């Protein structure tokens, strides 16, 4: 099987007429890595993928595959595997003919083609479906055939553009697992595009968050979730509470943040006081990191709040609360701990220094 190569995008810019869809993007994807490009609709994800595939020409910058400049190469010369949402199978060809297609194009021998098609159909668990036509398959099976066709010729790089977008939620989850397993087994370097943050978090080695044609942050799923770099990333991935405040002191990696005269919140930080002094800062706390406290001594930070409404979401309950100091705070607690809580009740919210992170607020409200 193919071993993946590394990809480098250097200062890539794409204009459609006067509109800048990709704005000076630099990004490296390591050999064998699964990188997801995540961003809202219109942020330039597909455009970036098309530049890598060669379907669109760069306005500026370059693209290197395994240190080789492919910027000027035609799509078919790049030998990249692709799977797009609407990358349809040939309806008049059987599964095995569909999968054999890229190999026939490359003029492999009959025996070679037969062997490779058999191997790859086995990999996607469709060895018993070789003689069927696409319309005789389910949506998930069709996508597996398309995936097999995309990787059967051992491409150095696989590009996925929302390939699971058309599938329902359960099937999508199943296919995510399937693609991850296959990607790992084959070791192919993969770039996947999605606007689904859950999909990005669960599938990727690293995630590249895009917005307005620019990269906001490239990081591991865990770092992205725990330490978003800015307001956009914090709000785009998961639920989060953002509280404005001024950092008044930092001692032993613990920042004292003044939110109100009578409200100081402590947050663990690696930043120095001087980098945050006199700048608009946000305390970012995930709802699941806030607990219902019995007394103030349990946590570094506690806050009295009134429960305004409770939303049951299965394994957890979301509480929308309003602090007595005015802040609106969302809390998520396990359902089994929510029995005694009702609307209008006053509760003590508690969390520790390390449960929150500090973000520089470039766009203060
Ligand atoms: P995404 O995949 O993140 O939804 P796209 O890369 O498809 O975003 O599009 C980014 C922006 O570029 C959008 O505003 C879109 O309307 C615009 N755009 C995309 N393709 C073209 C094109 N061929 N001509 C003009 N504008 C385009
Ligand atoms: Mg797109």
pLDDT bin (cut points 50, 70, 90) of residue 365 is: low
CB 49 within 8 Å of CB 37: yes
Closest protein CA for atom 22 of ligand 1: 16
Q: Which of 232, 234, 277 is nearest to 258 (CA)?
A: 277
Q: Percent of the chain scored above 90 by pLDDT? A: 85
pLDDT at 303: 96
**Which 3-state string (H, E, C) describes 39-78?**
CCCCCCHHHHHHHHHCCCCCCEEEEEECCEECCCCCHHHH
All CATH 2.40.50.100 domain ranges of the chain, comma separated, are 239-360
> CA-CA distance, 189 to 7, in Å (whole number)?
8
Mean pLDDT for 152-156 is 93
Q: Percent of the chain scored above 70 by pLDDT? A: 98
Q: Which ligand is nearest to the CA of 39?
A: 1
**Shortest-distance atom of ligand 1 to CA 43:** 3
Q: To test the ligand 1 pocket, which listed residue (42, 159, 192, 194) has its Cβ within 8 A of the most ligand atoms?
A: 42
When the pLDDT of each residue in the chain is averaged and rounded to a whole number, the result is: 93
pLDDT at 4: 61
Structure tokens at 30: 């390591």
All CATH 3.40.50.300 domain ranges of the chain, comma separated, are 7-232
pLDDT bin (cut points 50, 70, 90) of residue 27 is: very high
Q: To test the ligand 1 pocket, which listed residue (41, 44, 192) has its Cβ within 8 A of the most ligand atoms?
A: 44
pLDDT at 171: 86
- In CATH terms, is domain 239-360 a member of 3.40.50.620? no
pLDDT at 87: 64
Q: Does ligand 1 have an atom closer than 6 angstroms to the CB of 45? A: yes
Most confident of the ranges 110-119, 177-186, 335-344: 110-119
Mean pLDDT for 318-338 is 96
Neighbours of ion ligand 2 (CB under 5 A): 46
The 8-class DSSP code of residue 354 comes to: G
Q: Does ligand 1 have an atom closer than 6 angstroms to the CB of 46? A: yes
Mean pLDDT for 18-42 is 96
More confident residue, 340 or 215: 215
Radius of gyration of the chain (CA): 25
Q: What is the DSSP string of 184-242?
A: HHHT-EEEEEES-HHHHHHH-SEEEEEETTEEEEEE-HHHHHHS-SSHHHHHHSS--EE
Mean pLDDT for 23-36 is 96
CB 120 within 8 Å of CB 129: no
**Shortest-distance atom of ligand 1 to CA 193:** 2
pLDDT bin (cut points 50, 70, 90) of residue 122 is: very high
pLDDT at 351: 98
Q: What is the pTM of this model?
A: 0.91
Q: 189-229 pLDDT, tens per residue?
A: 999 999 999 999 999 999 999 999 999 999 999 999 999 99
pLDDT at 334 over 60: yes
pLDDT at 302: 96
**DSSP 3-state assignment of 315?**
coil
- Given this structure, which CATH class describes domain 7-232? alpha beta
pLDDT at 295 over 60: yes
Q: Does ligand 1 have an atom closer than 6 angstroms to the CB of 194? A: no
Q: Which of 62, 68, 81, 84 is nearest to 156 (CA)?
A: 81
Closest protein CA for atom 16 of ligand 1: 42
Residue labelled with tokens 């949402």: 85
pLDDT at 364 over 60: no
pLDDT bin (cut points 50, 70, 90) of residue 230 is: very high
CB 33 within 8 Å of CB 205: yes
Closest protein CA for atom 27 of ligand 1: 16
**DSSP 3-state assignment of 283?**
strand
CB 257 within 8 Å of CB 266: yes
pLDDT at 17: 96
Mean pLDDT for 237-243 is 95
Length of the chain counted residue by residue: 365
pLDDT at 85: 73
pLDDT at 2: 44
CB 26 within 8 Å of CB 188: no
CB 131 within 8 Å of CB 95: yes
- Phi, psi angles (nearest 5°) of residue 106: -90, 5
pLDDT bin (cut points 50, 70, 90) of residue 1 is: very low
**58 burial level (CB within 10 Å; 0-12, 13-18, 19+):** buried
Query: Ligand 2: distance of its center to the CA of 340 in Å?
Result: 45
> CA-CA distance, 154 to 108, in Å (whole number)?
13
Q: Indicate the angle between helix axes 139-151 and 95-105, nearest 10 degrees.
A: 20
Q: Which ligand is nearest to the CA of 38?
A: 1
Q: Which of 149, 159, 78 is nearest to 113 (CA)?
A: 149
CB 177 within 8 Å of CB 144: no
């Amino acid at each position: 099987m193919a071993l993946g190569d590394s990809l480098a995008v250097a200062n890539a810019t794409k204009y459609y007429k006067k509109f800048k869809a990709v704005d000076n993007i630099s990004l490296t994807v390591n050999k064998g890595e699964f990188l997801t490009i995540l961003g809202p609709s219109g942020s330039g994800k597909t455009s970036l993928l098309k530049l890598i595939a060669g379907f669109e020409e760069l306005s500026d910058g370059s693209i290197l595959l395994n240190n080789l400049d492919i910027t000027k190469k035609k799509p078919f010369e790049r030998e990249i595997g692709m799977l797009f949402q609407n990358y349809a199978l040939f309806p008049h060809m059987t599964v095995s003919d569909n999968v054999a297609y890229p190999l026939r194009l490359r003029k492999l021998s009959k025996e070679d083609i037969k062997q490779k098609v058999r191997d790859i159909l086995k990999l996607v668990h469709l060895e018993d479906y070789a003689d069927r036509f696409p319309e005789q398959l389910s949506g998930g099976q069709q996508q597996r055939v398309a995936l097999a066709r995309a990787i059967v010729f051992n491409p150095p790089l696989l590009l996925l553009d929302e390939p699971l977008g058309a599938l329902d939620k359960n099937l999508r989850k199943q296919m995510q697992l399937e693609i991850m397993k296959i990607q790992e087994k084959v070791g192919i370097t993969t770039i996947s595009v999605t606007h689904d943050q859950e999909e990005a978090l669960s599938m990727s080695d690293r995630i590249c968050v895009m917005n307005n044609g620019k990269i906001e942050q490239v990081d591991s799923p865990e770092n992205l979730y725990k330490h978003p770099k800015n307001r956009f990333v914090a709000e785009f991935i998961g639920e989060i509470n953002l509280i404005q405040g001024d950092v008044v002191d930092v001692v032993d990696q613990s920042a004292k943040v003044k939110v109100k005269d009578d409200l100081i919140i402590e947050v663990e930080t690696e930043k120095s006081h001087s980098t945050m002094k006199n700048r608009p800062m946000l305390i970012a706390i995930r709802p699941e990191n806030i607990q219902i406290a019995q007394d103030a001594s349990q946590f570094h930070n506690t806050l009295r709040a009134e429960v305004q409404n409770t939303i049951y979401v299965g394994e957890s309950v979301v509480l929308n609360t309003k602090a007595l100091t005015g802040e609106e705070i969302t809390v998520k607690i396990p359902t089994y701990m929510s029995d005694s809580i009702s609307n209008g009740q006053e509760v003590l919210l508690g969390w520790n220094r390390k449960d929150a992170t500090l973000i520089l607020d470039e766009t203060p409200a």
